[in-house]
Amino acid sequence: MASNYLAKGLKRSALTVALGLCFVGGVQAQTNTAGAVVGRAVAGDTITVTNPSTGFSRTITVDATGSYRFSQLPTGQYQVSRNGGSPRTANVNVGGAANVDFVSADATTLDAVTVIGSGAINPIDVSSVESTTILTAEQIAKIPVSRDTTSVALLAPGTVRGDSAFGNLASFGGSSVAENQYFFNGFNITNSFNNLNFAQIPFEAIAEQQTKTGGYGAEFGRSTGGVVNQISKRGSNDFKAGANVFWSPSSLNETPKNYYLNDGTLAADRSNNTVGTEMTASVWASGALVQDRLFAYGLVQYTDIGEGKAMSSSGGFSTVGTNKQPKWLLKMDWNINDNNILEFTGISDKRKYETDYYSTTYTDPLLGTNPRLNQYQGTAFDERGGETYIAKYTGYLSDSFTLTALAGTSKSSRSNYSVTADGTVNSYNGTVGVPANGCPVIVDARPSAVNGQVTEYAGCALDNFLGRPDAEDTRDQFRIDAEWQLGDHLLRGGVDIDNFKSVAGESYSGGVVWRYGNYANATGISGENSVVRKRVFQSGSTVAVDQTAFYLEDSWSITPNFIAYLGARWDTFDNMNGDGETFAKIKNQFAPRLGFSWDVNGDSSFKVYGNAGRYALPLTATVAVRGASKSLYSEEYFTYTGVDATTGAPTGTVRIPNLYNGREIRYLNNEFGVAKNAQTITDQGLKPMYQDEYILGFQKELTDNLSLGARLIRRDLKAAIDDQCDYRPIIDWALANGFTDDGGIFIEPQDKTQNSDIAVYNPGFAFCHLYNPGRDATFKMDINGDGTLEEVKLTADQLGPKAKRKYTAFEVFFESSWDRAFLQGSYTFAKSIGNTEGGVKSDIGQDDTGTTQDFDYPELTEGSYGYLPNDRRHSFKLFGSYDLTDTVTVGGNLIVQSGRPINCFGYHPVQRPGYQNGYFYCQGQLTPRGTSGRLPWTKKLDLNVAWTPAFADKHLTFKVDVFNVLNSQDPINVVEQGEDASANWQPNVWKSVNGYQAPRSVRFMVQYDF
């Protein structure tokens, strides 16, 4: 069915004519760690490529077609010569192919290529159809940009910054921030626990960053967003060493704006908020341990981020946080001989965070410079990162056959615990059923408090959720890739095995949330000071995702100027729960990739290209922690006579029975703290999340110093994975298939001797199931608790609408380079529309990757189709540098983007369980997604100046970067809840700003190298 659909899609595509030629072939000549040198010469000629800095040299014979290719070359600058003649220079970048022709396209004119000056742009890579932006360390150093992976990726066309709720992440081509993959030296550094993090490589060690926004070949998978591919620096015959210090003083940061309600009332005083002074020091050295054979590059980097102060709004806490990041990297290269290379990479990216909490009362003046005006409450401790080790072998086994093999392992911590002022340790050991230590979470949701009166029940918990002190993620990856030049065909293929394991779990602080409110509807007892709700939640397990992929690619040079492409990838995803049982397995998901590249003039100066492909995304490991493993979730109601002055917990409690058919219900689903039946979690015919993508573009060299390109992009989400929790169609199915309500539709205990007063106890019945929204589903479940699993077949109409997301974009981009300057830029017009963002939900900051609330109940999808959170209609980007003199360089970076859509969330007009003001309704009226206006445009101009004094022979550099020079603090987030938690319309709060751009800041650098 998948291939039939793609064929139909291609008939409608503008690529029809060219793709009709693609019965074999593939322009995806790129790899994820190296580059290539390709070209034409006379058959029988000998071509030699040499890297003077390492002594690496290879010589091959031009084949009968008049073509030659050096594959899998480590990045760097090479000399290319023909028959021992004068060499030409070729710069090899990651994933690219440098073209050096010694004859013209008609194969009769020798030495047809003119040597281009040092200031010229690189020739257009006519062997590639992907949408990619490559920036070297030298280019990044010249422009004012934050030294992190995401900030560099955001320079590429088609990328926008994701919602701040998920940290510093980018959205690629309308996809959510949880759909990207990140690689370093060929190893996958993505944290597959929830796909919302990746290894933080010491930035000074990065030689190149390749940002793939679309069209990438079958070698790359497990992504429906983008791919970021980084390559480390490496040693050479020349000994080099250096050190630098980056210093961002807190005192030079501008003050962030306060938050106000719509009537001008102060909502949050941020006048004392500060970002801590940040200092990063790096020391490095590189050189040859054995001339021309064994090389090393080593770096040690330490970052210390001082006290960052954040004042809360009404009630709650103020925080003072510090961050220490000791990092290191070692890269070794052993040229065993000219035909065999061995590489090793070791990385540490450990990061430690401490956050002090202080009680804050809104009525305090919060003036002066000391945020500790209030009482110290405790400190939270978090640890992230770990160590990664990668080994890679490259064998040039013949002139036309190259083999690479990679093996790597990584371990990364997610440790979390806190200590209150009195020494109480708030922690959770991950054992479901054993309460977490520490203070309980207190929520005052009484109407009087919600409507603006001072909260009386504050409590002493520092964080709502506690992770595990032993939480960590482990990855073992193995891959083999082969490349064979067979006449006009470049054949590539390989296998990629990626096994990921997570130790995970979380609990409410103190093991419980006490929520004070008016629960007359639930208990029949009126009055906001009469009833308190107790909610218990715990999860904890060791879960795993095993992934295996095979891919094949064939690049067919139909003519010297036209390359056709055919690629295919087969992915298998195996998700396992805390007992090591498979609960979701998708075998051999087929992902075809088609494309073409036409070198119009035959001299790499004008390329027309296109591609079409299917891209699949696996389930993340986090899905299994709660959804498929042991977890505990219950709700009970109590009357109370008092409140503990320290903890805020109720005293004198008496439980109010919550009855169903005369039996008490404490559990709302199948989370009883016991193992779940792995067969009952997913639809038996579950498909992976996948989308189809189509791109048509061109790139033209206008002069030796300027190239211009444009492309059209279309992405269409064909299947998503999410969970649904609607029990009503299951009840209908049960009644229609002989079960009776008094016989116990999912309400009889499996073991009546255990928890006999609890009616809902059936591990074989999962309330929430993973499925593909919009498809029929078959679930296995024990309907009546007799130990037998029934097959419950439900139609798509019963389950709810299809998941939809469509992205359409037009990009224009240019690249220019002269002897003293370079400038790049782009304009993107894009639309992203649908009823799901993807893996996460920016609307409410939900980071439950793969199990958002989007499709839990059909009512949540009402009005959900519209422009999505990552819909930024217009994006302008411009960056570059200019050498004012031989010693002074200036740089700039400008990003201007239109704002995202605004929603109005409120209560459903018909009472529905569990989601309160989470529906696309306000004041009882449907308010479709994105129809409540848009945020304003944002603009950010960064500038820098660098001085390399002549007296230090250009070994010494001073630089200052000013970020957000104009101090533009435009809104980037607003309150989208039109109704509060008690269903009251709140016009004074809705659309009030609760997030601005970061204010102006300054960064200084001093560097000495030799």
Q: For position 13, what pLDDT does the model report?
A: 35
Q: What is the average per-residue pLDDT within 226-238?
A: 96
CA 802 to chain centroid, in Å, comes to: 24
Q: Are 392 and 478 in contact (CB under 8 A)?
A: no
- pLDDT tier at 518 (50, 70, 90 boundaries)? confident
Of 824, 869, 819, the closest CA to residue 842 belongs to 869
Cα–Cα dist 890/883, whole Å: 6
Parallel, antiparallel or unpaired: strands 722-724 and 821-834: unpaired
Distance set, CA 894 to CA 139, 208, 643, 827, 871 (Å): 15, 21, 54, 12, 20
pLDDT over 60 (residue 235)? yes
Q: What are phi and psi of 729, to 5 degrees?
A: -65, -25
Cα–Cα dist 580/541, whole Å: 10
Which H or E run contains 323? strand 317-337
Q: For position 96, what pLDDT does the model report?
A: 82
Q: Which of 355-359, 547-551, 762-766, 846-850 has the lowest mean pLDDT?
A: 762-766
Beta bridge partners of 405: 393, 480
Dig out the tokens for 463 from the structure.
């964080």
Count CB neighbours of 303 within 10 A: 20
- pLDDT tier at 526 (50, 70, 90 boundaries)? confident
Q: For position 749, what pLDDT does the model report?
A: 39
Dig out the tokens for 499 from the structure.
């096994």
pLDDT over 70 (residue 461)? yes
Q: For position 713, what pLDDT does the model report?
A: 98
pLDDT digits (tens, 9 = 90+) for 793-823: 999 999 999 999 999 999 999 999 999 999 9
Cα–Cα dist 890/887, whole Å: 10
CA 668 to chain centroid, in Å, comes to: 32
- pLDDT tier at 458 (50, 70, 90 boundaries)? low
Of 557, 335, 333, 361, the closest CA to residue 458 belongs to 361
Count CB neighbours of 931 within 10 A: 15
Of 230, 223, 228, the closest CA to residue 613 belongs to 223
Q: What is the average per-residue pLDDT within 903-932?
A: 90
pLDDT over 70 (residue 364)? no
pLDDT digits (tens, 9 = 90+) for 34-62: 889 988 899 999 999 999 999 999 999 99
Residues 6 or more apart whose Cβ sits within 8 Å of residue 953:
none
Cα–Cα dist 905/816, whole Å: 46
Q: Which of 132-136, 150-154, 455-459, 773-777 has the lowest mean pLDDT?
A: 455-459
Beta bridge partners of 906: 919
Q: Which of 189-198, 529-538, 809-818, 888-897 has the lowest mean pLDDT?
A: 529-538
pLDDT over 50 (residue 846)? yes
pLDDT digits (tens, 9 = 90+) for 247-256: 999 999 999 9
Q: Are 609 and 698 in contact (CB under 8 A)?
A: yes
Q: Which residue has the tokens 């280019």?
A: 139
Q: What percent of the chain has pLDDT over 90?
A: 70
Cα–Cα dist 39/101, whole Å: 5
Dig out the tokens for 604 from the structure.
């790499």
Compute the mean pLDDT over every residue in the chain, rounded to the nearest whole number. Answer: 88
Q: Which residue has the tokens 């199931």?
A: 769
DSSP letter, residue 879: E
Which H or E run contains 707? strand 706-719
Residue 308 falls in which region: left (phi positive, over 0), alpha (psi -120 to 50) or beta: beta
Dig out the tokens for 514 from the structure.
């006490």
C-alpha gyration radius of the chain: 30
Beta bridge partners of 464: none
Quick check: helix, strand or coil at residue 301?
Answer: strand
Q: What is the average per-residue pLDDT within 252-278?
A: 90
Which H or E run contains 567? strand 562-576
Beta bridge partners of 589: 571
Looking at the chain, the number of H-run helices and the number of E-run strands are 11, 58
Cα–Cα dist 390/537, whole Å: 39
Q: Are 403 and 480 in contact (CB under 8 A)?
A: yes
Q: For position 529, what pLDDT does the model report?
A: 85
- pLDDT tier at 559 (50, 70, 90 boundaries)? very high
pLDDT over 70 (residue 660)? no
Q: Which residue has the higher pLDDT, 112 or 509?
A: 509
Q: Which residue has the tokens 């929430």?
A: 768
Q: What is the average per-residue pLDDT within 18-33?
A: 40
Which H or E run contains 734? helix 728-736
pLDDT over 50 (residue 159)? yes
Quick check: helix, strand or coil at residue 521?
Answer: helix
CA 314 to chain centroid, in Å, comes to: 32
Q: Are 74 and 56 in contact (CB under 8 A)?
A: yes
pLDDT digits (tens, 9 = 90+) for 599-609: 999 888 999 99
DSSP letter, residue 8: H
Q: Are 494 and 551 in contact (CB under 8 A)?
A: yes
Cα–Cα dist 953/641, whole Å: 79
Q: What is the average per-residue pLDDT within 158-177?
A: 96
